[in-house]
Structure 1
Amino acid sequence: MCLVGSCQNISCGESYKDHSTAHSKDKKHSLTMNLGSIRIWCYECETEVIVNKNIPSFIIPENSACMSKKKKMHVNQQEFLSVNSSPQKSSSGGDETESEKEDDKSISKDKAFTDMATRRHHLCDICFNQHITEDAIVWCPECEENFCANCKKYHEIAKASRKHEIISIENVQNLPRFVQQIKINCTDHDERFLYFCSEHDTPCCIKCIKTKHIDCRNLNPVETVVQDIKQSSSFSDLETTLSDLLINVTNFVEDRKANLQELKEQKKQCVGEIQSAREAINTYFDELEADLHNKMHRTFLKHETEIETLLEDIEPHMAKVKEMQESLNSIKTIASDFQSFMAMRMMSQWAQTEEAEQQDWVQTEKFNWVDISVIPYDIKSSKDIPPSIGTIRVKRKCGKVALKMQKSREAQLIGPVGISRSIENIHLKEKLQCKIPLGKEALEILDCGVLPNGELIFCDRKNIRLIILNSEGDVVRYLMLPFCPICFAIVDKNSIAVTTTDKVNIVDLKTGKVLRTFAEGLKARSISLQNKNFIIENLGKGYIVTNLQGHTGTANLIPINFAETFYHYPVIIKGKLYYSENESNELICCDLEGNQIWKFQHEQLVHPYGLTSDDSNFLLVCGFKSSNIFVISADGKSYREIVAPNKHLNGAISAYFNINKQELLVVTIHGNVSLYEVM
């Protein structure tokens, strides 16, 4: 019933057609009473009116629309007293001025309004929608609603929500703000997220799939990607990374403080050395001594200031890492699996950025260790009057901080977090089967790949060329090379890295011209590009890791004693290295130090050669002699033959997995090409 003036309009509530709300909007009558519960509701303030506790006393206005929103705030007595403290005295000791009283009154009203807005988030959403104010005690991330004790019972009984994990309101407030803001419904379509698109790194609903993601192939069900996320290796890796980052920042701080302390000791030593030099000459050099002192002090001041500035710059990094570490701990114990999954990806990106920045610290000159000493002038050996009694020398050494990471090579080679798939659900559908045209010599195809524009590229050793086909299997062009190619790694749309017997060549994809070379003298064979780093097989010795410019870092060698008669294409998945050993019919997994973890053998997989992966959790390997294709999990515990032996795969020597299009390209040494859609 409407309480404004003499209106007394009676209409239904939200549980039916909600004519009471329509009446409020049409007539600008904001106050109404529920005739069943005798509770009063204000539409303007969106809160219940507690008549007996209102200060000042509650009065039904003739026209509530003429009152401003703040003036119609209905604040209970306890809230009113908490925001209206005792009058304050002015700085002169007298009473407050009228202006100050008005300001305090305005502040009190604003704070009361804020308190009411904050309290709104702790009310039961079900009751609130019925114009009932009940304090919420739990939050359901899947329903994205608060529940009071009574509504919680129904939520736990209802078939649609009985399996939902609920969180206490107190724990929700402990979650980081960005985690609380993660929603399970699409903001564009208000539909539940059902899939996660790996290509765009974002969740999507059914309507998103039909619009924004209509061409995306790498879509995975949300329940699959969030399953056991808190127990996953990726979550554990993030915990380790944050811990390492905190240790790194702490070490940088301690290192700078130690250098600062040592500089103080060196300063004392320098003062003594200057004094000793001064005693060796007469008073004629007093002015020169003072000049040297000034130079010394300026030098120390400059470098001390640099170090102190660096310490100030590092401090926010330490605070941020601690904050992220605390956030991750709260996520691990409190957040839902979906929140944990999304938060983990956000925090992983931040952690990778922070880790890269700390690597830059190590390489920058600012973090070099500073030693300052005095080189005295040998007055006895000089015939002329010296311009100074000494010089100030600053010697920089490499910093003493060793970054703690999962492993230095993992920092180089591990890329973004991937989406896991079950090998039982992986199937291949043949899209293309063709034959590479013959050259002047018999074909000897050793490698294959897919260019960014979708064209297929192959390496023909005997005919000294690269062959490019379109998606229909027709020849686009031949790239004749000035050297005998072995294997390659696609760098970008314009260039490709091609190995020959003693080096790596960066070749222009349009002209075939060699742009530059590196790793000269290396017995280069297979080559792979992982996270902007080349992994180059050094025949019989292992792998060399370089950046895109061909420069090796401190952790540049992965020693493995494998056979020199065959090539071993490297694959990296989550810090593990995989390669096939043709002679022993084995697929081998080892860490990035070259230590073997496990090996896989199967009687139906003979002479495994072509090896590739989805960069997440499975490998695809071709049998050179068995003429088939196996899919094997990254832990080596499960496997399946997904393509049975056939003549077209006889001599399968190379495989390439196109992650963007979810396609597998396989080529034999004789030039038989097979292109499969991975489903």
Structure 2
Amino acid sequence: MSRHQHLVEMDKLPKTVNLSNNCSKHQCLPFDYFCVYHDVICCKGCLPKNHSACKTITSIDIASKNSKQSQSFVDSQEQSRYILEALEKLINNRKENYSRLEEEEKNILKEIATIKENANSRFESSKDTLLKQLSELKGKYEAGIKRQEKDLGDLVTSTKGVKEELAFVKDNGSDQQAFVSIHSSKPVLDEMEYKVKQLIESFEDVCLVFVENISKGKNTDIGSIEMKETPLSFSFIPYKQRQAQVPVTGRRQITSFSHLYDIDMKKEKLGGVTGITISDNNTLIFCDLNTRKIYFCDEYDIYQSSTRSPYEPWDVAAIPGTNMAVISGRKNPYIQFLDIGRRMITKKVKLDQSGSGGIAVTKDNIYITIKHKIQVLDVNGKLKRIISLNQEQNINWYISVCPNGNICYSNENAVHCITSDGCPMFSYASSDIRYARNTITDDVGNIYVLDYYSRNIHKLSSTGTLVDNIFNDRLSGPLVFCFSKDLSKLYIANGFGTKISVFTTS
């Protein structure tokens, strides 16, 4: 067995695995090329016929590099999982509808029996007609639901086959095989999504209803059975491929940063900036613990104005989708709401404990750190719940919320990550982390940790694995940092918080 071969146990093989590297149109020719323009893999036979005018033809060896770790491979796996979840919900819906028909039949039979007890013999013929009608209607729609369940089952089998093949390739295949699998499975998964959408549009929830004849005349009819049909109340939005495999665009991969300038504060003296954020309209906001001021810069990093806080401000976070920000304190039991447009504090909300420390926000929640707990408030400052931490570590100063909803917080020489319910996800500690300050994330979920003593920025994956250590000799006593909205710039409270340094990312 050569070093390029890989043994796999038979029981780990999916039921259907298509790892053929040959073109389906030109069986004897392998996939050697990838057309970026058409986003398809192709062989030598495909080039003159379909891609003669294409200028973006690349080797499949280059295009498929790192495919198993690519977003497109993850998207293909997620798409199959997404379809299976939808199919499972549809199957449960059909089963529930089937069970409901059974229960409704029982209830109607009880109603008929009750009426029968109060009726005389002249209703017998009407009852027989009614029972026949009930049986026919129920049988008709039961058969239809059974057919629908079979169609759903066939789709489940097909989708599981694709999912198992992708999992097999991820665990045992090469990057090239992963690349081929992505593009081979894409039209199959898209077709399955289309079929799921068609089924949903054709499904109806069916109800059997007995309508009693309340006429007091000599009409011998007991009543009638009505069938009510309503469209299926099931939402299914097809999973969208979020990016092409080659080339990668739209998301910045940050590997370094270079100093541009320090913001000119126009004779304002900073004493110790401990909190920094940026609003939806690119207003840079930072607070100074020692001067008790909140400062504002425009989208061009030009200092505009400041406002004074009645308390020592520690951290500040802009609320997405609004023109408001929230400020926490180190020693006082309040959070303050800041109107960014009017540059003024509009209200304060008292917390259960003093010394709130770090603050983070989403469009729905405000997160405040208090020792071994995290208080979750709504965007008006009303307490919703408290997250008690399982880790023994005390939260140092800062907290952040990741794109996936997980919560990160620092503890001097370590960074911890928990779910929104408080379940531990990971802890990252390193000899290079000597005094972790705040953490921020990029648009793909990477976590950046600012270290005060080492002057490093540690880049972690969303699962807590070290990706890179980014060092810059222009850092000195960095206290806190944040990205610009487009991630093109990095703002750092540098020089022990006495200046705001602006770096460009690359």
Q: Secondary structure of the residue that 2:399 maps to in structure 1?
A: coil
2:277 to 448, 470, 487: 448
Q: Given the superposition, is the C-alpha separation of residues 267 and 521 from structure 1 closer, same or farther in structure 2, using an over 3 Å criterion? A: farther
Matches within 5 A, 1:503-582: 509-511=340-342, 526-529=359-362, 536-537=367-368, 539=370, 540-542=372-374, 560-561=389-390, 563=394, 566-572=397-403, 577=406, 579-582=408-411
Q: Retained in 1: the 8 A contact 2:323–2:339?
A: yes
Higher deviation after alignment, 456-465 or 594-603: 456-465
Amino acid of the structure 1 residue aligned with 2:408: Y
How many Å apart are 1:192 and its aligned residue?
A: 4.6
Matched with 1:158 is: none
* Structure 1 residue 476 corresponds to structure 2 residue 304: yes
Matched with 2:493 is: 667
Amino acid of the structure 1 residue aligned with 2:341: K
2:320 to 470, 480, 491: 491
Matched with 2:7 is: none
Q: Retained in 2: the 8 A contact 1:480–1:512?
A: no
How many Å apart are 1:429 and its aligned residue?
A: 0.9
Matched with 1:269 is: 106
Amino acid of the structure 1 residue aligned with 2:482: Y
How many Å apart are 1:622 and its aligned residue?
A: 1.9
Query: How far apart in 1 are the matches of 2:315 and 2:190?
Result: 39
Amino acid of the structure 2 residue aligned with 1:527: A
Query: How far apart in 1 are the matches of 2:146 and 2:291?
Result: 62
Query: How far apart in 1 are the matches of 2:54 and 2:147?
Result: 49
How many Å apart are 1:243 and its aligned residue?
A: 4.4
Provide the TM-score with structure 2 as the length reference. 0.57
How many Å apart are 1:263 and its aligned residue?
A: 2.5
* Structure 1 residue 138 corresponds to structure 2 residue 138: no
Q: Retained in 1: the 8 A contact 2:105–2:208?
A: no
Query: How far apart in 2 are the matches of 1:120 and 1:570?
Result: 47
Q: Given the superposition, is the C-alpha separation of residues 644 and 286 from structure 1 closer, same or farther in structure 2, using an over 3 Å criterion? A: farther
Q: Given the superposition, is the C-alpha separation of residues 597 and 312 from structure 1 closer, same or farther in structure 2, using an over 3 Å criterion? A: closer
Q: Given the superposition, is the C-alpha separation of residues 349 and 504 from structure 1 closer, same or farther in structure 2, using an over 3 Å criterion? A: farther
2:95 to 258, 268, 280: 258
Amino acid of the structure 1 residue aligned with 2:30: W
Q: Deviations over 1:56-101 (max 9, x none)?
A: xxxxxxxxxxxxxxxxxxxxxxxxxxxxxxxxxxxxxxxxxxxxxx
Matched with 1:161 is: none
Q: Deviations over 1:320-373 (max 9, x none)?
A: 95697599689977994795598499789979x97xx99xx9xxxx99x99989
Q: Given the superposition, is the C-alpha separation of residues 191 and 269 from structure 1 closer, same or farther in structure 2, using an over 3 Å criterion? A: closer
2:437 to 609, 616, 620: 609
Higher strand share goes to which structure? 2
Q: Retained in 2: the 8 A contact 1:618–1:631?
A: no
Matched with 1:55 is: none
Q: Secondary structure of the residue that 2:33 maps to in structure 1?
A: coil
Query: In the comparison of the two structures, how many residue pairs are matched?
Result: 431
Q: Deviations over 1:588-607 (max 9, x none)?
A: 24566644454333455433
Q: Retained in 2: the 8 A contact 1:526–1:536?
A: yes
Query: How far apart in 2 are the matches of 1:499 and 1:345?
Result: 49
Matched with 1:159 is: none
Q: Secondary structure of the residue that 1:666 maps to in structure 2?
A: strand
1:227 to 60, 65, 74: 65
Q: Secondary structure of the residue that 2:275 maps to in structure 1?
A: strand
Query: How far apart in 2 are the matches of 1:661 and 1:603?
Result: 28
Q: Retained in 2: the 8 A contact 1:487–1:498?
A: yes
Q: Given the superposition, is the C-alpha separation of residues 425 and 457 from structure 1 closer, same or farther in structure 2, using an over 3 Å criterion? A: closer
Q: Retained in 2: the 8 A contact 1:590–1:598?
A: yes
Amino acid of the structure 1 residue aligned with 2:402: V
Q: Secondary structure of the residue that 1:487 maps to in structure 2?
A: strand
Q: Secondary structure of the residue that 1:491 maps to in structure 2?
A: coil
How many Å apart are 1:255 and its aligned residue?
A: 1.6
Q: Retained in 1: the 8 A contact 2:280–2:320?
A: no
Q: Given the superposition, is the C-alpha separation of residues 545 and 312 from structure 1 closer, same or farther in structure 2, using an over 3 Å criterion? A: farther
Q: Retained in 2: the 8 A contact 1:450–1:658?
A: no
Matched with 1:204 is: none
Query: How far apart in 1 are the matches of 2:24 and 2:190?
Result: 33
How many Å apart are 1:665 and its aligned residue?
A: 1.5
Query: How far apart in 1 are the matches of 2:255 and 2:174?
Result: 34
Q: Name which structure has the greater RCO, CA cutoff 8 Å, separation 6+.
A: 2
Q: Given the superposition, is the C-alpha separation of residues 271 and 329 from structure 1 closer, same or farther in structure 2, using an over 3 Å criterion? A: same
Matched with 1:63 is: none
Q: Secondary structure of the residue that 1:138 maps to in structure 2?
A: coil
How many Å apart are 1:497 and its aligned residue?
A: 5.1
Amino acid of the structure 1 residue aligned with 2:360: I
Provide the TM-score with structure 1 as the length reference. 0.45
Matched with 2:483 is: 657
How many Å apart are 1:666 and its aligned residue?
A: 1.5
Query: How far apart in 2 are the matches of 1:638 and 1:446?
Result: 26
Q: Retained in 1: the 8 A contact 2:360–2:400?
A: yes
How many Å apart are 1:456 and its aligned residue?
A: 2.5
Q: Given the superposition, is the C-alpha separation of residues 475 and 514 from structure 1 closer, same or farther in structure 2, using an over 3 Å criterion? A: closer
Task: Name structure 1 gaps, 5 residues minimum.
Answer: 1-118, 123-135, 145-175, 195-221, 377-387, 404-410
* Structure 1 residue 190 corresponds to structure 2 residue 55: yes
Higher helix share goes to which structure? 1
Q: Secondary structure of the residue that 1:255 maps to in structure 2?
A: helix
Q: Deviations over 1:429-458 (max 9, x none)?
A: 101213657989976642323645x54233
* Structure 1 residue 432 corresponds to structure 2 residue 261: yes
Q: Percent identity?
A: 11
Q: Deviations over 1:220-261 (max 9, x none)?
A: xx95x843313x275664455344334323423432332233
Query: How far apart in 1 are the matches of 2:39 and 2:255?
Result: 38
Q: Deviations over 1:179-220 (max 9, x none)?
A: 55999x9998714569xxxxxxxxxxxxxxxxxxxxxxxxxx
Query: How far apart in 1 are the matches of 2:90 and 2:296?
Result: 54
Q: Retained in 1: the 8 A contact 2:440–2:448?
A: yes
How many Å apart are 1:633 and its aligned residue?
A: 3.5
How many Å apart are 1:177 and its aligned residue?
A: 10
Q: Retained in 2: the 8 A contact 1:448–1:667?
A: no
Matched with 2:456 is: 629
Matches within 5 A, 1:258-337: 258-279=95-116, 281-283=118-120, 321=159, 325=163, 336=176
Amino acid of the structure 2 residue aligned with 1:628: R
Task: Name structure 2 gaps, 5 residues minimum.
Answer: 1-22, 213-221
Q: Secondary structure of the residue that 2:465 maps to in structure 1?
A: coil
Matched with 2:5 is: none
Q: Retained in 1: the 8 A contact 2:408–2:416?
A: yes
Q: Retained in 1: the 8 A contact 2:437–2:450?
A: yes
Query: How far apart in 2 are the matches of 1:259 and 1:549?
Result: 40
Amino acid of the structure 1 residue aligned with 2:427: K
Q: Given the superposition, is the C-alpha separation of residues 347 and 280 from structure 1 closer, same or farther in structure 2, using an over 3 Å criterion? A: same
